[in-house]
Structures are given as C-alpha cells and as structure tokens.
Amino acid sequence: MKVCIAEKPSVARDIAEVIGAKQRKDGYYEGNGYQVTWTFGHFCTLKEPHDYYDQWKMWRLEDLPMIPSHFGIKLIENAGVQKQFGIIENLVQQCEEVINCGDAGQEGELIQRWVLLKAKCTAPVKRLWISSLTEEAIKNGFQQLKDAEQFNNLYAAGSARAIGDWLLGMNATRLFTKKFGMGKVVLSIGRVQTPTLAMIVARQKEINAFKSEDYWELKTLYREVEFTATIERLKSLDKAQKGLAYLKEHPFEVTSFEKKDGKEGNPRLFDLTGLQVEANKKFGYTADETLKHIQNLYEKKLVTYPRVDTTYLSEDLHPKIAGILTDMTPYKALIAPLLEKPIPKLKAVFDDKKVTDHHAIIPTGVYPSSLSLEEKRVYDLVARRFIAAFYPECKISTTTVFGKVGQVEFKVTGKQIIEPGWKEVYANDQPSKDEPTDGKKEGEETEEKTLPHFVVGETGPHTPKIHQGKTTPPKPFTEATLLRAMETAGKQVEDEEMRELLKDNGIGRPSTRANIIETLFKRRYIEKKKKNIFATQTGMDLIDTIQSELLKSAELTGTWERKLRLIEKGEYQMETFKQELITMVVELTTEVKSNAYKVITLAPPTPVEPEKVKKEPKPKKVVEVGALQCPKCQTHALKKGNTAYGCANFQVCGFKIPFEVFGKKLNEKQIADLVTKKKTTKLKGLQIPSQPNPIDGKIILDAQFQLQVEP
C-alpha cells in the first residue's frame, strides 16, 4: 500500500478522487492501492526552551543566551492534531512507500518532513510536486513523482529558517522583555519583524521631524497650455512678485519642440507580493487577506500555486497558454484578438532562468463560479494581468516643449496614447455580465495630456502667474509600499527588472510577510489610520532601545534571506548559517545586559475611527427550517438529515431537498423560500447538466415537487 500525505483534508480529497482512493476511512481515504491521509498545517514544532532544561521555563537574564546542543521537534499539544498524527503514524509504519503530497514550497516541505521524522518513517519516500490542483495537474504529477532526496536542500533551508527564528526570537524576546519590559509587557523580537518595524519607525521619525515650508513657482499660460519655470522653487513671495513683474515685460518664445514615439511595456505577471500590493492599492485588502483569498482560489483549482516570488513562466508552459486562454470564457471578448494568431513566446514572460520551484500566478482556465466578492476581485486581478501579458505593447507619443520669457526658461510635457495595446484589457468601466470583477481598473492611472503643435521660434503674448505651494512630508507606509520595501530590503525601487534582482535579498518570503505585518499590529508596535501605517510609541521606544544594527537593519537581514536561498540551491551550509546566528545571539546578549536601563510600556489599543464604526444590521426575519411543514404531504414537519432536508415521514412521503442543488449549497433562508414560496431569489452560477456553462436563475419547486431552474 502507498500512503499519500496531503497538507489539508480538502487537498487529500481531491488527490484521492483522482487516484481512485474513494473509500472513506477514519482519517484517510483508501482504494486502488493507495491510502490518502492529511495534516492540517503544522503538526510539529521545534521544542520549547523548557523541553531542554527545566530552568529555562523561567524567564531570567542569567540563563541567556539559551543555545541547545541540538534542536528537537515535538507534536503540537492539540487533541485533533495528536489523533490525526496517530493515524498517519500507523499508516506510514505499515506501508511500502510514502508519497509526500505537501504544499510544494519550503514551508510545505518542512511540515511534511517533520511529521515523517516524528512518525519514524522508514519506508522510501517520493515527492508530488505540482503547481495547481486541477485533475490534469494531479494526474501528471503522479506520473512524474520525484525522489524525496531532490528536495533535501529545500528541507535544510526550512530547518535553518526555523532554527534561526528560534535562536533569535526566544533569546532576544526574553532579553528585551526582562531588561526593558519590567516583566509587565512582552517585547517581541524577530529576525524579520524587527527590521520591518525599524523601517516603519525610521519613516515615522522623518515625518515627525518634517517642517513644512512655503514655496512659490512661476507659471505662464501660452496658447491655453500651462508652462512651468525650470528655475528652482522660490523661497519668498517678494522674489516671486519680482519675477512675475519681469515676465510681464517680455513675450513668450518657443525654443524647442520635441515629439518622441515610445512604448509602455506590459505589466509583469503576478508574484504573491505584486498581487498583495495591487489588491491593497485597489481594494484596501491587507496582505493577509489577499493571501487567504488567493489560497482559496488555488484550492478551488482556479489559479496556480500562489506563494511564489517570480513573475516569469517556465518555457515549457508556452504551448499550453492558448488552451488556458480559450477556457477563460468570462473574458472571451478580451481574449478573442489573442487567439487570432499564435501566442508569442515573450522573453519578459517566459524565462527558465527566472523560475525555481514554481512559476508566476496565473489562471488554470477552470470556470470561476461560486466565488465571494473578495475572491472575484482577486481572481479578476490575476486573470486580467495574465491576458494583458500577451497583448501588444501600449504605444505612446511624448511631447516636450521648452520656451523662454526673457531669460527665464519654461517647460511642459504631454503624453498621448497612440495605440492602447494591453491597456485595452483595463479600458472598460463596466465588465461583461458574467465577468467576476469590479473596482478600479489597471491602466486608469495614466493621465493623457495632449499638446498642440508648436513651432520653434514662434512668439506671442502669455499670461504669467505665481503658484504658491507647501513642501510635503515623506508619505507614511501603506501595506502596499511596506511590502515593496520588505521585498527590496528597504531600497526605493520602481523598476520591475531591478526589483527582480533584489528579491534574493528581501526581508522575509512572500508567504511570510503578511504574517509579519499582522504580528506587528497584534504586538501594538504599529497601528493603521485609514490605509496608512504608523509606529506606536511602544514600537519607537523598542527600536530606539536596540543598539545592534544587525538586529534592525533591513539590508543585513536581507543578506540572511539570501543565504537561506543559497541553502536551497545547495550553495551554502545550514550549519554555517546556524553558527552565524548563534554568534549574533551571544554578542547581542552581552551587549544588552550591559545597556542602560529603560522601561518600555505597551501602547494602548488603537481606537476605532468613527467613520469605520458600522451599525449592526437589523436581523432579517428568517423562518426556521425546523418549524416548517412538508409542502408535499402537508402533515409532517421538515427535518434536517445528513445530506438533505426531508419530510419527517420520508419513507411514505418521499419529499426532500438536498443541501447542494445545481452546484449551489443552499442556506436555510433559501430552503425556507423553496418550501413557503416555491422558489428562491435569483442565484448566480447554477450548473445544469444540459447547459455547457453555468447560468443565473431561480431554483423553483414545481407542481410535482421536483427542483427545476427558472432563468
């Protein structure tokens, strides 16, 4: 018997269905020579300090640093985890082969390896490595199972990351809590969270120290076009007024007129960080919310593996692109022009050298039905970005005009879209009826400014004026800009190609950054006001207390991340990384113990902003299903069974309504409407065997008490 271990029950169910293990047992599926079982996330964790030595249970400065001679793992103390682990343990000890079907990434590898280690697995292990959960992907994956040894470096990197986080987190948190928290507040320190907090604090200090100043600019209107003087901003109104008087004495003369044709390159496919940034900009979703939505879409087989850090596809995917596009029926109007000729093999999209474990996030082609509003929005971002990648480039014309008034130079620039190209994908404000999208479209941010034709040497009257403005402070971080800063280790980088080069040195990994930001909120180190993120006094005090640049430098932390990636590639030793962290912890402990004493208090909870306080909706009056009478016999009550609501006298009457009808799970209100009104309200995405595509309609109860769909 071969035992397959998936990371979630839902994934195990999908795998079992594909490989023919259809008999449900307690904690696993069985059939066709397979047993398919599952974990639900982490079953094991590194041992806690008190598991090594009793005295480490107490938080005492004299016991620091805590450096175990070796690191062990233990089961999480949870009854459900322990029961399921017992099932896995029994299965793997009796099988001929184990197939690791865990999430195809570093964390997924670590989860499964620890479980197999704890279960004392001695059977040979294979690895299922797939980028989507479609039936085709699972079948192909089982036909091309890999040896587990191929992923030893991935496991080593995951172990190094976990041990590094333990060494720094356990020691530094106790160190700063006992030294500066007076035992009343836990001061959480982390390898990734602390430099992230340091970036926010540094920005906060820039904002707090900023003093706004007035400035004046000279502008003039010539042929209904506003030109701006190229001289430095003036610091006094007196100088501006003298400049205005000078301008009034001279005509405007055009000195240069230049028109250049250019292109705006297509947006890159999404990696996880790019998707989180876009969802935060457009819909205000937090990084954690976007991660949950895209993970749900992955498990619904609608998109490929999401926890990725590349914007490229592997070259062997090129022949499959047309098929995926063809299957994306909600977007057929946008896709039709692409299918008129072969899909180009663009270097900006396909590059094996830029793809490691997984490629960029793209749709699978499976029809997107039964999605929440949030899932629809996130799916639409991925779908449109995928389509836009294969459209022609956007052709633009940039016009630059220089002029002068006396000796003062003026300038204006304008941009005109000649051929929209990929921007057509984002052009329509109103999506088609069945298109799962809403919200602001990408590409709307580009403002066109068409300038008339000017002739060099032409002169004429103009209307000069003074524009007064104020200098503005640096912008606070939003989740979008903070994610980008984490990705580039604090460097301000707009160019996408340069961002790709810096990813190896980013802080954290795409899959962990959302959790890091959430942790900072929970610890009350940062707070959010509207979409902006600010450091609390606690966060600022903590960073001010930390003297070690190693602990709070985004750039230095980025080098640790790079070493973890090198461990994945087999180009750096896990033991070397571990020893570097031990050295750092020892030095940090010695330094902090000798530091001057200062008390850090916990920031109060962030008050809820008045505009965000929502009134509780009035409860809707819903008829209890249990209080309804069977509509067929009109004698007995309606009762809830395991798979359906049915007449209490079902053996005689025979009336029932399944929980799921036409691919739609019905709620109690919809059941009640069917029984009392003989129809539901209009529902989206109903699946009818005679129809090739899902339709919208009402489910009705006909005269024979059968369920039908009314469009």
Catalytic positions: 305
| 68 preceded by a cis bond (ω within 30 of 0) | no
CA 281/CA 481 separation, integer angstroms = 9
Residue 62 CB burial class (10 angstroms; 0-12, 13-18, ≥19)? exposed
Assign 3-state DSSP to the chain and report helix, strand, coil percentages, each to 5. Answer: 40, 20, 40
Cβ atoms within 10 Å, residue 673: 20
Residue 333 Ramachandran class (φ > 0 left, ψ -120 to 50 alpha, else beta): alpha
The residues that bridge with 621 in the sheet, in sequence order, are none
Pairing of strands 660-661, 664-665: antiparallel
Whether 445 contacts 248, CB under 8 Å:
no
Phi first, then psi, for residue 582 (nearest 5°) are: -60, -45
Which of 275, 267, 270, 483 is CA-nearest to residue 361? 270
Distance (Å) of CA 520 to CA 199, 517, 527, 558: 12, 5, 8, 19
CA 155/CA 568 separation, integer angstroms = 8
Residue 251 is which amino acid?
A: P
The residues that bridge with 647 in the sheet, in sequence order, are 638
The residues that bridge with 411 in the sheet, in sequence order, are 228, 402
Which of 32, 10, 8, 3 is CA-nearest to residue 19? 32
CA 328/CA 367 separation, integer angstroms = 7
Whether 177 contacts 427, CB under 8 Å:
no
Query: What b-and-e string marks burial along 267-291, b requiring 16 or more CB atoms within 10 Å of the CB?
Result: bbbbbbbbbbbbbbbbbebbbbbbb
Distance (Å) of CA 550 to CA 364, 581, 707: 43, 10, 66
